[in-house]
Amino acid sequence: MKLEARNICAGYRNVDVVRNVSFELESGEVLCLLGPNGVGKTTLFKSLLGFIPFSNGGLYVDGKHIDHKNRREMASLIGYVPQVHEPPFPFVVIDVVVMGSIARADMFSGPSKDAFDEADELLELLEISYLRDRVYTEISGGERQMVLIARALMQNPAFLMMDEPTSSLDFGNQMRVLAQICALAKRDVGIIMTSHFPDHAFLCCDKAAVMSRTEPFRVDTIENIVTEETLQNAYGIPVRIASIDVPDHPDNSVTTCVPLLKTKANPCPCDSIEMPARFEGARA
C-alpha cells in the first residue's frame, strides 16, 4: 500500500502552519519527521488524521482519495500514538489498550474476550504486562507512552503515526521502542514518527524530512536530509555528524549527530547570554 500526501496545508483560525507538504510512504517504510519546537509536526499529524481540516491538498491510499469522515476506514488505515494523553477517567491499563480495538468492533457489543487476549499479547510484546491492572493516570509518562503504543497496535492499522514516541522514555526503553518500530515495519506497517533526536533517523528509519519555517518540505534518504547544514539551519545550533567505529555492530560503525554547546569560535556560550541586572551579585 502507498500513503500519499499531496500539497497539504493546514493550521488554525485560517492561518496555515503546515504548508505544501507532500510525501509518499510505502508499507514497511519508516519516515522520521524532525524539526524545531512549534514548527508544525503535530499539526501535520492532526490534519493527516482528520482532526483538523486541510485548507488545501489531500491524502490518498494507492491513488484513492481518503475520506476522513469514514472513521471506521480511517481507524483500520491509520493508528495514532499521541504525544501526550490525559484521559478524562482513571481507566485501568488493560481497558485503555482494548479501547484501540473499538473501531473494529461491532457497534452494539462490548470488546470481546479475543480483544482482551490480543491486548495481553501486546502488553507482553512491549514488556509491560506488569502494568496490566494499574490505573492509567497513576503510571509514569514513559509507561503511558508504552501503553499508548499498545493501544495503537490494537487497531491493527496499515500505517502508524507516532508523535515523539520516545520523548519520555529512558535510554533502554527508547531503544526498545525503536526496535518495535523496526519490527512493525518488517511486518509491513508504514510508520511516520517525529523525534527531537536526529540520531533516531539513523537508527531505524528509511527516509526523513526536516520541517522548517523557511524551507520547503522535502522527503529524502536519511543521508541526504540529516546533514550538518540542514540540522544547523533547522535548530540554529552547530551540529557535527560523526561516524564511530563499533566493532560489534553489524556495519562496524554507527553514525551519530553531536550538538555542540561550545566551538572554538564560541568557547564559552554563557558569555553571549545577557542576564537581567537583578541576577548580578545575587549571591554576593
Ligand X SMILES: Nc1ncnc2c1ncn2[C@@H]1O[C@H](COP(=O)(O)OP(=O)(O)OP(=O)(O)O)[C@@H](O)[C@H]1O
Among residues 17 and 123, whose Cβ is nearest to ligand X? 17
- Kind and range of the H or E run holding 192: strand 190-194
Among residues 31 and 131, whose Cβ is nearest to ligand X? 31
Q: Residues touching ligand X: how many (CB under 6 A)?
A: 10
Shortest separation between residue 211's beta carbon and ligand X, angstroms: 7
Give the residues across from 125 on adjacent strands: none
Shortest separation between residue 33's beta carbon and ligand X, angstroms: 9
Task: Check binding of 180 to ligand X (CB under 6 A).
Answer: no
Shortest separation between residue 114's beta carbon and ligand X, angstroms: 36
Give the residue among 23, 9, 24, 26 at the shortest CA–CA distance from 158.
26
CB burial string 102-133: b at 16+ within 10 A, e below: ebeeeeeeebeeebeebbbebbeebebeebee
Task: Check binding of 141 to ligand X (CB under 6 A).
Answer: no
Shortest separation between residue 62's beta carbon and ligand X, angstroms: 28
Task: Check binding of 198 to ligand X (CB under 6 A).
Answer: no
DSSP state of 60: E
Among residues 43 and 166, whose Cβ is nearest to ligand X? 43
| Residue given cell 569560535 in the structure block | 265
Among residues 42 and 230, whose Cβ is nearest to ligand X? 42
**CA 128 – CA 143 distance, rounded (Å):** 8
Query: Restricting to residues 20-79, which ones interact with ligand X according to CB under 6 A?
Result: 35, 37-43
**CA 199 – CA 201 distance, rounded (Å):** 5
Shortest separation between residue 223's beta carbon and ligand X, angstroms: 23
Give the residue among 243, 220, 240 at the shortest CA–CA distance from 231.
240
Task: Check binding of 144 to ligand X (CB under 6 A).
Answer: no
Shortest separation between residue 10's beta carbon and ligand X, angstroms: 9
Residues 156-175: x where in contact with ligand X by CB under 6 A, - otherwise, as a string: --------------------
- Kind and range of the H or E run holding 228: helix 228-235
Among residues 37 and 272, whose Cβ is nearest to ligand X? 37
Among residues 40 and 57, whose Cβ is nearest to ligand X? 40
- What are the backbone angles phi and psi of residue 232, rounded to the nearest 5°? -60, -45
Shortest separation between residue 113's beta carbon and ligand X, angstroms: 38
CB atoms within 10 A of CB 56: 13
C-alpha cell at 268: 564559552
Interaction site with ligand X (CB under 6 A): 12, 17, 35, 37-43
